[in-house]
Structure 1
Amino acid sequence: MNLVSIILRLTMAVIFGGIIGYGRERERRPAGLRTHILVSIGATLAMITNIYMCKIYNGYTDPTRLGAQVISGIGFLGAGTIIVTGKNKVRGLTTAAGLWACACMGLAIGAGFYSGAIIGCLFISAVTVALANIDKKINRNSRNITLYILVNSTTAASRLLQDIQSKNVKISDIEISNNNVSSNDLIGILLGLKISREVCHYDFIESITNKNEVIFLQEIN
């Protein structure tokens, strides 16, 4: 354990965490580039500290103690990315699992298990980035979708809901609130929708996005 080794491991943590976080950032997930990098750095630093303590105290400390705490402690961060809609539909589990996997990768880097960290990074990236396209295709063919929409007024929200229903789309879940937005003038709408086979998934979302009163729209997978 020397200065070069510490810098190398923390640099790898930044790069590998950034690779995974970049894919989540592009998808506009709650935990993006910076979050994944910080998780990876934190896990790496915890393992480096654990190894350092073992050497300082001549093996009188458990070399796996801090690592075990990281694996269990990362749960509080993952929990912040998970939401439950009105019908108890859970969203955000993939992001939470990605953070947990990123922490495990950081522990491998911190322990100097470079081959495991590199292979782990490739596999995690493949699941979160490469398989995202397959996931999108499956969701596009799905008749049930969940949208989070920000509109600029209550009148706009009412008008938007009426327009959606006129497109032969059934609203199965709806939650309206302005508690989670930065401006009190904005209204957040969480919608669970069931579209008919005559309605194109992509065209429907595009038509909603292009409305003047819609400030932001995200499809929640």
Structure 2
Amino acid sequence: MEKRARITLNRTVKISNRSERPYKEKNSMNNAIQYLREFHFGTVVFRLVLAMFSSGIIGYGRTKRAKTAGLRTYMLTGIGAAMSILLALYEYEMMNSLWADTVSSVGLKFDASRFSAAVIGGIGFLAAGSIIGTSHQQVKGLTTATGLFASVCMGIACGAGFYECVIISCVLIMTALNIMQPLERQYKRRCRNITLFVEFEDIENVSVITDMIRSKNAEIQEIEIERVKKEGDAYPCAILNLRLSKEQMSHSDMLSSIAELDSVIAIEELIS
């Protein structure tokens, strides 16, 4: 009986030691995160590098797609945003230490949000420069502009030491820019609404094109006619907003049907 009692006692001791390991690991992880939330030289470097790296991941994907704002642009916006909140933290530390006497005598008040608010307001100028209107009445650069805005907000989170937000937002931004793009294009191609840019020989050919579209049971929701210059000559063209029939006629079928007309010089589907 004594031997059995000793064996049982030893087993319980071993189990209790095992249960303490996850607690110690969790404790050390919390201590590491708490250390990174402090404000000193090491955490300043870490936050700036994290802002550059997380923004650079997004910018790399934009560079591969030959977008106006690429790797370096996203990196710089992320670093600049992180610097703004780090400057706010530095000002707070100085106002409560070396500048304390001056602050109390002058009566200054600290507002940490003004730095980040100024950065978010200033990014509007950079984002607006990336939005352009094409000759086909398309607006391009909206995704780039919103991506820069999201990158700036992520940089502010890096500077503030809100690492959980940085990791989650980086994953979500990458998902929205890379994974959702082909799904969005696939949805638009299956959608019954379609926008076409058609270039033809003479203005009288518009009726031929519209008659052919109606023969396919498609609805012409809007039509805009203008002229484009090509090799010194001005050709009439039209931007057509159509709604295809319920028979699920594909976009490619409509494009090929219009392209077969003798009067049509060029045709293109406009996908934003």
Assess same fold via TM > 0.5.
yes
Cα distance change, pair 172–102 in 1 and its aligned pair in 2 (3 A) = farther
User: Is structure 2 residue 160 aligned with structure 1 residue 111?
Assistant: yes
8 A Cα contact 2:81 2:155, kept in partner: yes
Alpha-carbon separation, structure 1, partners of 2:154 and 2:57 = 12
Cα distance change, pair 97–47 in 1 and its aligned pair in 2 (3 A) = same
8 A Cα contact 1:20 1:36, kept in partner: yes
Alpha-carbon separation, structure 2, partners of 1:97 and 1:198 = 33
8 A Cα contact 1:86 1:174, kept in partner: no
Q: CA RMSD in A?
A: 3.6
8 A Cα contact 1:86 1:173, kept in partner: no
In structure 2, which of residues 102, 111, 127 is the aligned counterpart of residue 62 of structure 1? 111
In structure 1, which of residues 40, 53, 58 is the aligned counterpart of residue 91 of structure 2? 53
Alpha-carbon separation, structure 2, partners of 1:127 and 1:173 = 35
User: Is structure 2 residue 46 aligned with structure 1 residue 8?
Assistant: yes
Larger CA deviation: 50-59 vs 96-105? 50-59
**Aligned counterpart, 1:132:** 181
* Residue type at the aligned position of 1:90: V
Cα distance change, pair 110–88 in 1 and its aligned pair in 2 (3 A) = same
Query: What 5-or-longer segments of structure 1 have no aligned partner?
Result: 147-159, 178-190, 201-218
CA displacement at 1:61 relative to structure 2 = 2.2
Alpha-carbon separation, structure 2, partners of 1:125 and 1:192 = 36
Greater Rg over alpha carbons, structure: 2
Alpha-carbon separation, structure 2, partners of 1:72 and 1:83 = 20
* Residue type at the aligned position of 2:76: L
User: Is structure 2 residue 197 aligned with structure 1 residue 197?
Assistant: no
CA displacement at 1:84 relative to structure 2 = 2.4
Q: Which has the higher contact order (CA 8 A, sep 6+)?
A: 1
Alpha-carbon separation, structure 1, partners of 2:196 and 2:65 = 16
8 A Cα contact 2:120 2:153, kept in partner: yes
Cα distance change, pair 53–139 in 1 and its aligned pair in 2 (3 A) = same
User: Is structure 2 residue 195 aligned with structure 1 residue 144?
Assistant: yes
Secondary structure of the residue aligned to 2:255 is coil
Secondary structure of the residue aligned to 1:144 is strand
* 1:67-122 alpha-carbon deviations (Å, 9 max, x no partner): 00011110000001111245754322111111101100000000011111111111
CA displacement at 1:6 relative to structure 2 = 1.1
8 A Cα contact 1:82 1:91, kept in partner: yes
Alpha-carbon separation, structure 2, partners of 1:116 and 1:192 = 47
TM-score normalised per structure 1: 0.66
Secondary structure of the residue aligned to 2:253 is coil
CA displacement at 1:52 relative to structure 2 = 0.5
User: Is structure 2 residue 67 aligned with structure 1 residue 18?
Assistant: no
* Residue type at the aligned position of 1:73: G
In structure 2, which of residues 77, 81, 97 is the aligned counterpart of residue 43 of structure 1? 81
Alpha-carbon separation, structure 2, partners of 1:47 and 1:82 = 27
The correspondence of residues 137-176 of structure 1 with structure 2, limited to 5 A, is 137-141=186-190, 143-144=194-195
Query: What 5-or-longer segments of structure 2 have no aligned partner?
Result: 1-38, 101-108, 210-222, 231-236, 241-250, 257-269
CA displacement at 1:143 relative to structure 2 = 3.7
Cα distance change, pair 86–3 in 1 and its aligned pair in 2 (3 A) = same
Question: How many residues matched?
Answer: 177
8 A Cα contact 2:195 2:271, kept in partner: no
Alpha-carbon separation, structure 2, partners of 1:176 and 1:77 = 31
Aligned identity (percent) is 35
Secondary structure of the residue aligned to 1:6 is helix
Comparing both structures, which one devotes a greater share of its residues to helix?
A: 2
TM-score normalised per structure 2: 0.55
